[in-house]
């Protein structure tokens, strides 16, 4: 440990200063620690001191070491948090459900020590979303899902309340809404949705592009607006799926298929007939969902065509075609979809697609069996 200079500040003064810096009320701090707000008030007024068992969690909420609480000006727990995250990442290297659960548990242990650490909270809710929703297939945690969902809802609310990063708050609220919908808590989900701005067409990137263009910096302007278009196209994919699923749920299968077809036509125009980055790999695959619509209409061959297209697009990620990246997003700062990935990763992703419950009726067909063998031999 580095040498630290003794501070003249009392523990009560330190607790009050750190609480205010973290924008926490006495009531919220009390809830995080499992004590009363009266206890917090006594600590801050030097009427009493925290129990020894509360020192480590208290330091964790503030993102400092216990030395700071005792008046020693030392560093924060940032290094230890990074170690926790690294260890969690190493646990999921094998890519199976048990590995993901172990990583989630490891981060949860870290949160018991640092319950207010936003970095751990954000990683926790991202993993929690993956493990708690049935549509995530083999990564669905089954009997553990309900507890994970409860923790994810609580932690997402903490991120929303205390992060100063707008993107983190947006993502946390999105995860929160998914969890509430999955739990059938639709009124709460609608209340959260109301907190989003009704229009998001004038964003930071849009304004930055306008400013840089006005200043004569065309390269920066293109990068900013390309990034914004990239985000907008991701949103289009999400909204396309939502719209088509609504039609499908209503029994309007033909309308659902038309929505997907028109979406693909638009993407083909933008990406010169090459796989668009919004439905070919990590995101929900529109081709699999279109196959589901065709199956509902009794068109098995057209459904199988869609499944083959989904697999073709997934395999295309082995050798990203950078020469045909659309001009609309060529300079985007988030061009994640065109990064090369390993053959094993592609094989696993393809197997996940073939295991999708939406296309279960196709299993056993000759074309489907041939496609399975093709994927196994990647």
* CA 177 to chain CA mean position, Å: 12
Which residue spans within 170-252 are E strands per DSSP?
none
pLDDT tens, residue by residue, 355-376? 888 899 999 899 999 999 999 8
Helix (H), strand (E) at residue 184? none
How high does pLDDT run on average in the chain?
A: 84
Angle in degrees, CA 371, 372, 376, rounded to 5: 120
Location of each CATH 1.10.260.40 domain in the chain:
11-69
Query: b or e along 264-294 (b: 16 or more beta carbons within 10 Å of the residue's beta carbon)?
Result: beebeebbeebbbbbbbbeeebbbbbbbbbb
Q: Among the CATH numbers 1.25.40, 1.10.357, 1.10.510, 1.20.140, which is that of 78-193? A: 1.25.40
pLDDT value, residue 294: 95
Q: In CATH, what number does 11-69 get?
A: 1.10.260.40
pLDDT tens, residue by residue, 5-22? 344 457 888 888 788 877
Assess whether pLDDT exceeds 80 at residue 116: no
Q: Sign of dihedral through CA atoms 60, 66, 71, 73? A: negative
Tokens 């946390």 locate to 172
Q: Span 81-86, mean pLDDT?
A: 88
Location of each CATH 1.25.40 domain in the chain:
78-193
pLDDT tens, residue by residue, 211-248? 988 899 999 999 999 888 888 888 888 899 899 999 99
Assess whether pLDDT exceeds 80 at residue 137: no
Assess whether pLDDT exceeds 50 at residue 312: yes
Assess whether pLDDT exceeds 50 at residue 182: yes
Residue 315 near residue 370 (C-beta atoms within 8 A): no
Tell me how far apart the alpha carbons of residues 301 and 295 are, in angstroms, rounded to a whole number: 9
Tell me how far apart the alpha carbons of residues 267 and 223 are, in angstroms, rounded to a whole number: 20
Confirm whether pTM is higher than 0.75: no
Range among 92-96, 188-192, 199-203, 204-208 with highest mean pLDDT value? 188-192
pLDDT band at 81 (very low <50, low <70, confident <90, very high): confident
């Amino acid at each position: 440990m580095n040498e630290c200079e003794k501070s003249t500040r009392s523990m009560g003064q330190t607790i009050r200063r750190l609480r205010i810096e973290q924008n926490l009320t006495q009531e919220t701090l009390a809830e995080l620690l499992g004590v009363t707000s009266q206890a917090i008030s006594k600590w801050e007024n030097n009427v009493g001191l925290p129990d020894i068992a509360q020192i480590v969690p208290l330091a964790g909420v503030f993102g400092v070491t216990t030395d700071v609480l005792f008046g020693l000006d030392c560093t924060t727990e940032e290094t230890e948090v990074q170690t926790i995250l690294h260890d969690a990442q190493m646990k999921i290297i094998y890519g199976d459900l048990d590995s993901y659960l172990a990583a989630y548990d490891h981060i949860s242990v870290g949160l018991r020590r640092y319950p207010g650490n936003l970095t751990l909270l954000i990683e926790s809710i991202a993993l929690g979303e993956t493990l708690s929703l049935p549509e995530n297939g083999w990564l669905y945690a089954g009997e553990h899902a309900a507890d994970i969902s409860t923790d994810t809802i609580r932690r997402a609310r903490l991120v929303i309340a205390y992060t100063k990063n707008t993107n983190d708050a947006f993502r946390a609220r999105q995860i929160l809404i998914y969890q509430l919908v999955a739990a059938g808590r639709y009124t709460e989900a609608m209340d959260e949705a109301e907190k989003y701005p009704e229009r998001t067409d004038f964003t930071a990137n849009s304004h930055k592009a306008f400013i840089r263009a006005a200043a004569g910096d065309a390269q920066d302007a293109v990068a900013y607006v390309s990034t914004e278009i990239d985000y907008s196209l991701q949103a289009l994919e999400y909204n396309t799926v939502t719209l088509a699923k609504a039609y499908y749920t209503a029994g309007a299968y033909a309308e659902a298929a038309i929505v997907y077809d028109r979406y693909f036509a638009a993407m083909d125009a933008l990406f010169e007939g090459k796989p668009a980055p919004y439905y070919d790999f990590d995101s929900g695959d529109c081709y699999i969902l279109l196959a589901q619509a065709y199956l509902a209409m009794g068109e098995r061959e057209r459904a199988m065509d869609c499944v083959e297209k989904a697999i073709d697009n997934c395999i295309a990620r082995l050798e990203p075609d950078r020469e045909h990246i659309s001009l609309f997003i060529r300079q985007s700062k988030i061009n994640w979809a065109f990064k090369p990935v390993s053959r094993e990763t592609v094989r696993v992703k393809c197997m996940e697609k073939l295991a999708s419950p939406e296309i279960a009726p196709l299993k056993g067909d000759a074309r489907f069996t041939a496609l399975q063998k093709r994927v196994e031999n990647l």
